[in-house]
A and B are shown apart, each in its own frame.
Chain A
């Protein structure tokens, strides 16, 4: 209060010296225009400012109000769709984008609708929307990137790489595109190109890209470079101490190196961060299995199965642990369950029981 008083006093003094503007102005409603009239545009502009700062609920109110005042307001429809996407109302987002596109087709609207349709598992429709966005804006890096993602998921790595190339061409610091292009190269067996792209993604922001470190670690692990892989997983964890996936993968690299105690510590840490992470339970069981602690391993597999009752590999592993414990009936039962869950190897495991 005292501070405000001083400010006002100073301003009054200043105005007296240079005869400037009056010090106290009566503030009108925020949505009024300079002419004093509340318009759809002024409400909309307030919504944009709120949206830019992630104030989604308030922004939603503004855009909805602007649309009540002016139903054919395509920018308000598009931005309300953005808010709905952010608030996970994907059907609502698609409806707003539909209306916006009907009024005026824009690359941004097609792209946003593609994003919503992807989440709604309308993959082909999402692909069409990304393509239309690219047709309207040939330099739309994000549209290329996300369409590349769809090609990747369809295992069409060649097309995925073409799109990632375009995304990087129009946005050379597109970290995500480097990471995902690396994945595509890896799927094609081009290990060198994959390693280069992961490294580029990391170099662009080595303090932020936990998943790129993790992916590069996995690539190194697949090449038998276990110690180097562990370094990458550790870097990933340094970036994000709650990155349970990296703990899980580092645990596996430690198993590869025969450090079963270290592996168990990593899996346990992954479970501390994400208690329902059934992969970590299964893998911790594997580390205990390697230590020949079959009963303890079976207990971990059982816990993994409790979390995910259709976890075929956990049944297979528990079957083997039970076989080692010479619980033949238990092993047979687990192999049977694993087979029913689609684990083909379980049939062979069952056949080769020596009892």
Chain B
């Protein structure tokens, strides 16, 4: 049994191993499927006819070539058919990837990565295909890495030719990463499969009624392997395009570049006449079109391609693109003016402000004639051709502005047309998600001035933000017939032995010291007559002990002639704590009242006299109100005392504070007296 299991595993390993290596289209691998092998080879041969021609026209995928694109698209079905038979051939997967690069870039990534995974030695171009596909899919980090790999493998000749372009793509990736992070509020909709096909569908234009869209569809002419165009018209109803129809333009093979709103004049492009020429065409009064006529020798160079064109609003200036020599690189935008006989003048290069070292094509001229929209691979493109805008400012072309993401994408955008009567506009792009090659997209912009509204709370008036009681309380009244009362007391230590202590009595309302005296050394006893009608602070201090404070309220109407107070002084030791009974706060407040400073000064003096002690000040409240509110209040009160000490020069490192709210009562909160006991501030020695 074990033996069979091992055998089964070995077979699996072998099969798996095959899947990871290059499988050639030979009898070595397909000796039992010779007929299918022959068919697959025929498919490859058919595909190669287009592919090799495309390769001739397009030496590197770094360079854009629309006619090569059609050839790659034509090769693709044959290769895919062969790939069904044998999906593990390095070269076929690479070719399919390269075809997809021109047809649907997002699909290229799968095939190139497949090819790389089964290659013994990776062909440098695979890195480039991977980079271009990843860039189009917004996988910028992967793209950057692949571009670098490709660049490092270029031959000296290839380096000289393409290093600059690679750097440009790297810059595009960086710019695109930033742009994608900050998209504009624009909806991008593919106008659908009735308009868009697997080939290039581009240059949407609208005429007066805007009921139909006129656009171009590129097809490869059978046999000649040349790209040719059809001008189609797609009716639009409630925003939806119906099946396109042939227009009444007389000849196939032309692409429309421009048409007047009255539909009586148009500019056409024919790639197969000259090296690619621009034609004018007029409409007869009966609605039929005349034959297209070349725009003339000044516009159409006999050796070079003129690719796009658009007229100024008055119709007397033609902007067009051409790859003729003498420009700034690649295709440049030129303009020519029309004389009274209708002849176009010698063209003038529009200048370096607009033309870059790469390809630049005119797309649209605004109704005012002051703003140009053009496609460029240069400037600050975020990938391939982007759409840019530039306006005339004081007779010169101003700064070139990229229309941004998502109008532009990491792929190519090559058309731009704003609908005249709605705020929609149309582009064509080979971005991820096309039905193949270039598709027409409708863009709808949400007005950037439409912004969400936030709410915040501002200018908070203090008396709204924080309730404090500022009512004026009438004071107590004097009652006739009241007298002096006698304050009696005794001072002891914790062992109940008498202590000789200094006793200070202050009037808490006036702050005036009423008396200072000592308790009897033998008995600890003291006696003092005080007038009725005041509140008194009694502070008791003795060397080696923590001070004690008591509050003695003797209001008018006090019935007793004698008051008794017992004072127990605690040794100055760690963890001993006493209540500051003469530190006062207004109800709900956390700033000590003026009457508090006698006792706070005693506390301060203690800190000065005992420079090694560290203390904790704690705040406590009664149980009225929420725990949270009381905790905050008690903490603020404790902090206020610490702040007082710090302001007077005590090292903050010797001080800490805590608010306990009503969590540590020392008396029941059910009575007025109990609550009064619980409202307190304490200080505790935490080290000495």
Beyond A25-B562, A176-B462, whether A17 also contacts B522 by CB under 8 A is yes
Q: Which of A34, A54, A55, A175 contacts B483 (CB 8 A)?
A: A34
Q: Which of A145, A313, A324 contacts B446 (CB 8 A)?
A: A324
Q: List residues of chain A with CB under 8 Å of any chain B CB.
A: 6-7, 10-11, 13-14, 17-18, 20-23, 25, 27-36, 39, 41-42, 44-46, 48-55, 58, 75, 78-79, 82, 85-86, 106-109, 111-112, 115, 142, 145-146, 149, 152-153, 175-177, 179-180, 183, 186-187, 205, 207-208, 210-212, 214-215, 218, 240, 242, 245, 248-249, 252, 255, 279, 282-283, 285-286, 289, 292, 297, 313, 316-317, 320-321, 323-324, 326, 345, 348-349, 352, 354-355
Alpha-carbon distance between A324 and B561 when the two chains are bound, in angstroms: 84
Alpha-carbon distance between A321 and B453 when the two chains are bound, in angstroms: 12
Of B51-59, B256-264, B290-298, B584-592, the one touching chain A: B584-592
Min C-beta distance of A308 to chain B, whole Å: 10
A149 touches B457 (CB 8 A): no
A44 touches B461 (CB 8 A): no
Q: Which of B465, B468, B557 contacts A34 (CB 8 A)?
A: B557
A215 touches B459 (CB 8 A): yes
- Additional pairs, 18, CB under 8 Å, beyond known A10-B492, A14-B490: A10-B498, A14-B525, A18-B523, A28-B559, A33-B479, A33-B481, A44-B477, A48-B475, A48-B555, A49-B555, A75-B477, A106-B472, A179-B461, A208-B636, A218-B456, A282-B454, A297-B452, A316-B453
Q: Which of A21, A79, A252 contacts B562 (CB 8 A)?
A: A21
A52 touches B455 (CB 8 A): no
A18 touches B520 (CB 8 A): yes
Interface string of B302-340 (1 = CB under 8 A from A): 000000000000000000000000000000000000000
A354 touches B444 (CB 8 A): yes
Alpha-carbon distance between A176 and B460 when the two chains are bound, in angstroms: 10
B458 touches A218 (CB 8 A): yes
Alpha-carbon distance between A297 and B566 when the two chains are bound, in angstroms: 67
Beyond A33-B557, A34-B558, whether A245 also contacts B457 by CB under 8 A is yes
Q: Which of B183, B445, B466 contacts A354 (CB 8 A)?
A: B445
B470 touches A142 (CB 8 A): yes
Decide if the interface of chain B is mainly helix, strand, loop or mixed. Answer: loop
Contacts of A218 in B (CB 8 A): 456, 458-459
Alpha-carbon distance between A78 and B684 when the two chains are bound, in angstroms: 41
Q: List residues of chain B with CB under 8 Å of any chain A CB.
A: 183, 185, 187, 239, 422-424, 444-447, 450-463, 465-466, 468-477, 479, 481-483, 486, 488, 490, 492, 496, 498, 520, 522-525, 527, 532, 553, 555-562, 564, 566, 587-588, 590-591, 624, 628, 632, 636, 639-640, 643, 672, 675-676, 679
B454 touches A283 (CB 8 A): yes
B455 touches A282 (CB 8 A): yes
B672 touches A215 (CB 8 A): no
A11 touches B490 (CB 8 A): yes
* Shortest Cβ distance from B562 into A: residue: A21
Contacts of A208 in B (CB 8 A): 590-591, 636
Q: Which of B422, B424, B444, B460 contacts A211 (CB 8 A)?
A: B460
Q: Which of B476, B524, B558, B559 contacts A48 (CB 8 A)?
A: B476
Alpha-carbon distance between A255 and B468 when the two chains are bound, in angstroms: 34
Q: Which of A34, A142, A255 contacts B454 (CB 8 A)?
A: A255
Alpha-carbon distance between A13 and B492 when the two chains are bound, in angstroms: 13
Query: Can you sample 7 A-B contacts with CB below 8 Å?
Result: A14-B523, A34-B559, A75-B477, A149-B461, A152-B461, A153-B461, A175-B462
